Structure formats: structure tokens, C-alpha cells
Amino acid sequence: MTKIAKPTRRDVLKYGAAAASTALAMPYVSRAWAQAVEINMLAWYGHGEPDMVGEFEAANNVKFKSKYYAGGDNMLALIAQSPPGTYDIILSDGEFVQQLNTAGLIEEMNPADYPFDDMLYDDFKQFPGHWKDGKLYSMMVRCGHLGVSYNTTAISDEEAMSYKAFWKPEIKGKVGHFDWHLPSLGQMSLYNGNGAKLWDQDEAGWGKIKETTMSLRPQVGGFFDYGGTFNGLKNGEMMAMAGIGDWITGVLEKDGAPVKSVVPKEGGIQWTESYSIGKGTPKADIVKKFIQYMLSPAGQATSARMAAYPGFAITKGGRKALQDKDMKEAQRTGQVDGMPNDPITLLKEGRIHYRDIPKQQSLEDWNDFWQEYKNAS
């Protein structure tokens, strides 16, 4: 078994440059506050918006200047296009933290500064990829699940309990993909029965993943970015969507759309969002304070109800604060002890697997196949 070599900064920049053509380079977002300290953030869409940072900005006389990406590959591309030290704070998918660390792009963090004792699940205290040689480099702040996302008028709840629903003949041409290889190919690996080994497949296993994925191609009506994924499900153009979960359908469901997401019998995937402090930033203290705020009960309740896309609180105090603030949303997402869809229960039952990068292939291998798949007729 061959492991992927850990990337150098040159590797990150090289890969980022190659992915630059597909990077989602959204415009900077800023609001003019007199004499406010400007904090440069790189993140998924929504994290620098007023519902997430407005309270902290007002209390600390800071202003977030945010640049957004969609997917870890896009994140690397944007970093490759930016001078060293551009970002004071980086929100990374958990599986990409060590690429940033090995490339020298993020600072070591002091564990004593963060509420590890309040974590809902022991794994969150030593989350994979966030630590190296006993040192902390990123702080998990929220997570969510990927599974079968579907229109309830076209797919029954029973059918949605397997990824096989994507192959339903009646929805041919109406299956969409969120246009990022990791989530969708990970789901195909789960459908193949790979379980906890979904990211660690030899060439034979990888070949079967590609074969399964290609067999879905006649069903597929489009590959969508963040906004297109929302719209495709909202307007009924797509009856099912691979590679997503409640982070998309939750927003639509609350608005009355007939859509849902479930974790099927083959298992689901956890996306994990984590904050790191940019290497060499002179604003490390205020960035640390912001991360602490996002892990406070109030910050966790805000994060779970983020306007752009919902997520799960990861601390005990955060879960309670969410229930106090919005019990209906806590119940909708299973964030109440004892509910069958409680995300912590699903983790303990082994039904959820952390998203990762491929272990026996490179990201380029997966992305190259993804482009081949998209171009297939």
C-alpha cells in the first residue's frame, strides 16, 4: 500500500495553480467601518456574512474581508493565487488542514485556549488531521452530513435509504451533482460497500468506484456550483442531488420546498469545518478571540443556524444554546439527545465516516476522473 507523500508549500502552490481555472473566486465582502481592524478571511460562502460575524464585529471594532471558495481544491487554488500572509484566518475542510500545515501556511494553536472539555464527542477533541506531533493546528467549529438528497414527490423515504435511489429510472436526467469530486465519489465508494475504508482503496477498488460512477452518468442532468445546487432542487429541475446533504436541503426545506436529506443504509459522510490562524498574521490575538467566540454557546447556536447553510453544534453548551434559541431547528436536525437522527448517535453507530482525501491515489487522480466523468455522454 502506497501512501501519498505529504505536500510541501511548492506542491500546494503547484496543485492550486492547476486548479485555478475551476476555482470559485467570489468577490471580497466588506463594510466600511471607521478605524476598524480588518481581518482577511478565506472560507466557504456565508462565514463572513453579517449573521455570522456581525455581533463580533460590533463588539470588537473589527471588519471581516472575506474571500469565498467551494471545495478544498478551490481553496488551494485561491491560496496559490495569493501572496504569502494574505489571510489572517482560514476556514478549511478538516481533511485539508495538514496540507496547509505542511506547506507552512498556518500557525500552531494553544489547546488551552479552546473548550475541548465541552465537546459532544470524544473524537472531536483529537480530530483527525488537526493535530501533528501533539501540536494543534486547527480548531473544529461545526460539521454536517452528506447522504441522499431528494425531492419527496419523486423519491420515497424508503427509497432514499440507499444510494440506489440515484439510479431510479423515473428520474433519469434529473439527478444532479454538486460539482466537487470528493463528496460524490465518496458516496459511490460507500455504495460499493467500502464502509470505513471508503477513502483507502487499491487500484482494483478505485476501478470499481469509477465503474459505479460511470454507470450513473445517464441519470445525470447537470453539475452545479453552490447557487446552482440550490436552484436545481428548488425549481424541480433536479429530483435528486449527489454529494450534498442538509447543508443544502435544510435551507430549502425550511422555506417549504419538498426536499430532504437522509443518511442511507450504506452510510453517510461528515463534512467538518475548522478554523486555523494564518501564518505570520499580526492579528493572531483577535483571530483567536473570534474562534473562541464561534465555540461559545452563543457562537455555536449562530453557526448551527447560519443563513447560507445550516450545520451541527459540536459542543454541549452549543447544543443547549441552539435548543434554547430554536428548538424546532434543533429537532429538525436531530440535535436533541435521544433522537434517532442525532448526529452523535449516528457517529457512535458507525453510520457516519469523516470526509478525507484519497489514501492510495492523489487528489489529481480523483479530479482527473471527475473531469472525464463530466465530459462523458
pLDDT digits (tens, 9 = 90+) for 121-130: 999 999 999 9
Sign of CA dihedral 76, 304, 310, 195: positive
- The pLDDT of residue 34: 58
Residue 130 in contact with residue 103, Cβ under 8 Å? no
Residues 6+ apart with CB under 8 A from 224: 176, 177, 178, 179, 231, 232, 238, 241
Q: Is the pLDDT of residue 26 over 80?
A: no
Mind listing the domains of the chain with CATH numbers?
A: 9-144+270-338 (3.40.190.10), 145-269+356-375 (3.40.190.10)
Q: How high does pLDDT run on average in the chain?
A: 92
**Residue 56, SS3?**
helix
CB 155 within 8 A of CB 239: yes
Q: Which residues of 194-223 are buried (b: 16+ CB within 10 A; e: fewer)?
A: beeebbbbeeebbebbbebbeebeebbbbb
Residue 262: beta bridge partners? 148
User: Which candidate, 158, 146, 154, 152, places its Cα nearest to that of 219?
Assistant: 154
Phi, psi of 277 (to 5 degrees): -95, 125
Within 195-351, residue ranges assigned H as helices are: 203-216, 226-234, 246-254, 284-295, 297-304, 316-325, 327-332, 343-348
Residue from 74, 70, 9 nearest 363 by CA: 74
Cβ–Cβ < 8 Å for 43, 66:
yes
pLDDT digits (tens, 9 = 90+) for 54-81: 999 999 999 999 999 999 999 989 998 9
- φ, ψ (nearest 5 deg) of residue 276: -125, 155
pLDDT digits (tens, 9 = 90+) for 91-139: 999 999 999 999 999 999 999 999 999 999 999 999 999 999 999 999 9
The burial class, CB within 10 Å (0-12 / 13-18 / 19+), for 371 is exposed
What is the four-CA torsion angle of 358, 362, 363, 369, rounded to 10 degrees?
A: -100
Percent of the chain with pLDDT over 70: 91
**Centroid of chain to Cα 229:** 15
